[in-house]
Amino acid sequence: MRLAISIKNLFFKYRNENVLEEINATICEGEYIALIGPNGGGKSTLLKLILGLLTPTQGEVLIFGKPPFKQRKLLGYMPQYVNFKLELPLLVKEVILQGRLERFKFRYTPNDFKALYEISQKLKIENLLDKKISTLSGGLRQRVLLARALIANPKILLLDEPTASVDMKAQREIYALLKTLPITKLVVSHDINLLLEGVDRVFYVNKRLVIHESLDIKISSPREGHFCQVELFEELKRSKNDRSS
Ligand SMILES: Nc1ncnc2c1ncn2[C@@H]1O[C@H](COP(=O)(O)OP(=O)(O)O)[C@@H](O)[C@H]1O
Ligand SMILES: [Mg+2]
């Protein structure tokens, strides 16, 4: 299996203090990774480093063996905060098409429109294309942003809290949909219950990274001295109880 993402001895600081320290990880093509951790733990920052929007203070990120800036086309991204200014009456189709924009490209081609219809059918939003994005519910808006992240056929999908401020039903739909996408996925989320369905591994980030290979085994036999962290255990136990009740 090919290596999709490799992170080697990565450190990052915005100002003086390290936000991320000594991060090492490899992600294979097709893996589905959940990225969890406390607020301010560095999850969004890690995604931005993988995207090449930020540059490591030390260490490196490689996407299929090359630096992120050379692999932009392979990366689909849904940021944590997207503000649609209400005075800017953007239509759903315009938002989705933004995912096909490239440098030095000033107009959309017939292929772009073909991709627009394909992805909106896949995500069942084809009847919303001419609506204003500002009029949609939170759940539908997130679906539109997911379409924007997917419209250029990325090999790797990076989602930053895709179901924040979305109702339970829409959350469930989004996770069900993600499960069906056969690409490499790295998803930041607090909705552990839903997220854990179909996830291969969990990355817990709080300045440093702790990787959990197999959730259920770790939960049933937490070993003393193992580097699983208490908070994660609590979170996972809770989610397991919720799931089985
Ligand atoms: N643009 C920025 N400038 C300075 N500090 C930042 C910036 N963005 C995030 N931080 C700080 O970096 C840390 C990690 O933030 P972030 O990656 O957003 O965490 P998370 O997504 O896990 O909540 C936090 O302490 C945050 O305050
Ligand atoms: Mg964040």
pLDDT in tens, 35-87: 999 999 999 999 999 999 999 999 999 999 999 999 999 999 999 877 766 66
Q: What rounded mean pLDDT belongs to the chain?
A: 85
pLDDT bin (cut points 50, 70, 90) of residue 194 is: low
**Which ligand is located closest to the Cα atom of residue 81?**
2
Answer with the residue of higher pLDDT: 198 or 22.
Answer: 22
Q: Domains along the chain?
A: 3-83+155-244 (3.40.50.300)
If one residue of 21, 45, 161, 187 were mutated to test the ligand 1 pocket, choosing by the most ligand atoms within 8 A of its CB, it would be 45
pTM, two decimal places: 0.86
pLDDT at 218 over 50: no
pLDDT at 128 over 90: yes
**CB of 45 closer than 6 angstroms to any ligand 1 atom:** yes
pLDDT for residue 165: 76
- CA-CA distances (angstroms) from residue 68 to 47, 49, 74, 221? 11, 8, 9, 38
**Which ligand is located closest to the Cα atom of residue 206?**
1
Cα 198 to ligand 2 centroid, rounded to whole Å: 22
pLDDT for residue 112: 95
pLDDT for residue 220: 36
